[in-house]
Amino acid sequence: MDKRYQDQVVMITGAASGFGKMAAERFAAEGAKLALSDISEEALGAVADALRANGTTVVTDVMDVSDEAQVMAHGAHIKEALGAIHVGINNAGIGHNLAPTHMLTTEEFDRNYAVNTRGVFLCMKVQLPFMLAQGGGAILNVSSAAGLTGASMLSGYAAAKHAVVGLTRAAADEYARKKIRVNALCPAFTITPMVEEMAEQVSSRGGISREQALGSITSRIPMGRVAQPEEIVQAMLWACAPENSFMTGQAIALDGGLTAI
């Protein structure tokens, strides 16, 4: 079977868990070389070790995507070790404690913007020069369904994810003639550590079970369920695939119909 990403270098942030970990595994299965980063050293090392054991070339850096010096150092490491970035998956992100807007702390609001928006911007600043020199590439910024709609009790997160969509569309316009495609992925609630933490907050506050909390969180989704990580990651591989060469500047909703209503 042909491997769509054979010998391409794929940079993935937030690669130690959730979407990022599964994306690393799937891109590796498609023949990619990987540049992985995460803020969690131990978890990142475990992911990298497992991939290397299967023959995948992996470069790693422990990195806070909101820190420009760390992101630029990661780019320099990739240049030295792999010499290219063909695909960028800007996945690292955080949420915040559920709170009405007037009770959300300024610190939480600022930290969400620092990681979820500035982190994407900084990683694109690393990726784009590689792609300009190579004559093309694909960038996928992980936003959220909350970046397309409101998100009650998550106003800081929603604001930061809306900004990711705006950044994506601006860059897509700037670099389209350079054969660099820039898109955003906007998943709704998916079984990831972030959503599990949210369910725990809802469960604790409401005195209800985890299952009831998940039901409450997803009550507005027409399909009546949360997504599985596999459903999101398969879209990552499709969005960045060479045969998907005419799509750029899109905010792709994977949301069980949430944004249709």
User: What are the residue numbers of the active site?
Assistant: 157
| 259: DSSP letter | G
Quick one: which of 66, 67, 60, 111 has its CA closest to 81?
A: 60
Sorted by sequence, the CB contacts under 8 Å of residue 102 that are 6+ apart come out as none
Strand, helix or coil for residue 12: strand
The angle that helices 155-175 and 119-134 make with each other, rounded to 10 degrees, is 20
Letter for the amino acid at 155? S
Return d(Cα 107, Cα 110) in angstroms, integer.
5
Locate tokens 């994306």: which residue?
Answer: 23
Quick one: which of 195, 171, 194 has its CA closest to 181?
A: 171
Residue 224 burial by CB count (10 A; 0-12/13-18/19+): exposed, middle or buried?
exposed
Q: What are phi and psi of 125, to 5 degrees?
A: -65, -30
Quick one: which of 17, 72, 65 has its CA closest to 45?
A: 17
